[in-house]
Amino acid sequence: MANPLTDFSNGLSSAVEKGGASTILVDARKRYPASGIAYADDLVLTADHVVTREDDIKVLLPDGKSVSATIAGRDPGSDLALLRLAEKSLTPAKTSDSVKVGQLVLALGRPNSAGMQASWGIVTAISGPTRTFRGGMLDEYVQTETTPYPGFSGGPLVNTEGEVLGLNTSGLTRGSSLTIPVKVAWRVAEALAKHGSVKRGYLGVRTQPVDVPDAARTALGREQTHGLLVLWLEEGGPAEKSGLLVGDILVAISGQPVGDADDLFSALNSESVGKAVAVEVLRGGRPETVSVTVGERQ
């Protein structure tokens, strides 16, 4: 007679083995090594905060082979860094963007040459967007009750099939670990592979949240309670060049309502840089649309 507990245990071990095939040891800091995920056959995605030196970076592959690596790109705001290996010897991770609250997951790490480590739990929350203390914005993040052992940052969160759901890091929140979902982490990794950095847009304004008057809401045709009052314009900046004025109330960018600084930050993503976007404002209580070419935040 089959033992369901044995089947369950064997299933978890199988998931660790499958996920471990693309889990890499990353030695790029003075303290103990961290972990990484095989993004391509010569690229490892890891947490930016575990890469504290730019030279003499080593990675240890699942087969025990040590390979030199260089920094292909990094994005401190999302705490992601991409390392390029001297040879194409990786098995890229199999991924899944299907994550649900209550789902059983495993956090994996390869923090030393002894091999894989793992902890398991359930997904407790899926949230976002949120601003990170490293000056970035995450569209989404996942929280779990897995244990983030030392050296797990940069390693994967996997499902019971061993598919990578995201990258674990303790470098985005103080005192806790979270997971950057695949659909966010892989998008950043793609930009890092192509450009070495992630572009972020800016308008050149200083704002503060204000209430949108009832009459203005009626004119806008939607129930939007807050906008952003423009207090200052950068001389020669994108907003000033496009005709925005001090006293305007920003209410939407490209049709996406903005009611606070996080909304504005999120709307000015990398895809908007260098492009003309429709900025909806209230000017004298009346809706107007101004075309603004988004600049690149330095």
Q: How far apart are CA 174 and CA 183, in angstroms?
A: 23
Is 79 catalytic? The answer is yes
From the list 182, 201, 192, the residue with the least C-alpha distance to 295 is 201
117 in Cβ contact with 16 (< 8 Å): no
Residue found under tokens 């949120």: 130
Instruction: Report how far residue 266's alpha carbon sits from residue 272's, in angstroms, rounded to the nearest whole number.
Output: 10
**Token digits of residue 67:** 């390979």
Q: What is the DSSP string of 85-124?
A: ESS----PPPB-----TT-EEEEEEEEETTEEEEEEEEEE
Given 49, 75, 248, 266, the catalytic residue = 49
Identify whether the C-beta of residue 108 lies closer than 8 Å to the C-beta of residue 83. Answer: no
Q: How far apart are CA 219 and CA 39, in angstroms?
A: 48
Q: Which of 42, 75, 79, 263 is catalytic?
A: 79
Q: Which of 35, 153, 170, 177 is catalytic?
A: 153
Region of 190 on the Ramachandran plot (φ > 0 left; ψ -120 to 50 alpha; else beta)? alpha
**Residue 170 a catalytic site member:** no
Q: Are 135 and 79 in contact (CB under 8 A)?
A: no
Give the H/E segment covering residue 137: strand 137-138
| Phi-psi label, residue 149: left if phi above 0, alpha if psi -120 to 50, beta otherwise | beta
41 part of the active site: no
Active site residues: 49, 79, 153
